[in-house]
Amino acid sequence: MKTILITGATSGIGLSLTQKYLKQGYLVYACGRNFTSYSDIEILKSSKISGSLIEVVFDLDDSDAIVAALSSVDMLDIVILNAGTCEYIDDALNFDAALFERVITTNVISIGYCLQVLIPKMKRGGHLALMGSSASYVPFQRAEAYGSSKAAIHYLAKSLQLDISPDKFTISVIAPGFVKTPLTNKNDFPMPMLIEVDKAAQHIMLGIEKNKKHIYFPFPFTSFLILMGSLPDRIWHWLALRMKR
């Protein structure tokens, strides 16, 4: 039986990925902060699926808990480090350092502790995927914390691709546009080309199956942002100011 570990497995993209990999017969290590008897994960465990599910409980803000929980995991075919958070800095002139620290700790520092434990557990020919964001392609208003954290993930993935041979395992960065999840439901601005969570999970699974190093979707939106980020500063700056958030 193939094995996969997914963080942020209790909701959103992580939950959809968990459901789909279970249906494919995987042993899924589903990671989250808490699992209740009424959660979708618990419902999955009692449903007729061909795979198996093991709950792994830890908080991304607790490095000792991350290391302790993940140390018990067996060798893995696939790892998807999907969990993260999003908070916006509403007033840059009164910069909220505590908010910035929270986002960086959850979205970046925790990944380092996950990698410390999980890289040695990757099977040869496996796949390690880090959840980035299309927000890393070009700066946006109010996204000083979130955008910085996802830009760091992109750089981290690209550096790992240089230092770890694909003969050992593939490393990819995932860069979604807007996906309808509990996290994006809190956004107070228009989200162009918003896609459903199951569609996002399908894109990710297909990218992993094809061993893509850069998994981005939906194609029209993310391609526009990639192009926008390559433009001269004065042009992307003008465009970004017109995409108010």
pLDDT in tens, 88-109: 999 999 999 999 999 999 999 9
Q: Which single residue is written with the structure tokens 């194609």?
A: 219
What percent of the chain clears pLDDT 70, i.e. is strictly above it?
95
**CA–CA gap between residue 29 and residue 4 (Å, rounded):** 6
pLDDT digits (tens, 9 = 90+) for 130-154: 999 999 998 888 999 999 999 999 9
What percent of the chain clears pLDDT 90, i.e. is strictly above it?
73
User: Could you write out the DSSP letters of every residue in 5-34?
Assistant: EESSTTSHHHHHHHHHHHHTT-EEEEEES-
pLDDT digits (tens, 9 = 90+) for 200-215: 999 999 999 999 999 9
Q: Which single residue is written with the structure tokens 């249906």?
A: 23
At a CB cut-off of 8 Å and minimum separation 6, what does 81 contact? 7, 111, 114, 115, 128, 129, 130, 131
Residue 38 predicted with pLDDT over 80: no
**CA–CA gap between residue 25 and residue 2 (Å, rounded):** 8
With 0.85 as the threshold, say if the pTM is over it. Answer: yes
What is the predicted pLDDT for the residue at 47?
A: 64
Q: Label the pairing between strands 214-217 and 76-81.
A: unpaired
Of these ranges, 31-40, 42-51, 73-82, 190-199, the one predicted with the greatest mean pLDDT is 73-82
Burial (CB count within 10 angstroms: exposed 0-12, middle 13-18, buried 19+), residue 189: exposed
Structural domains in the chain? 3-243 (3.40.50.720)
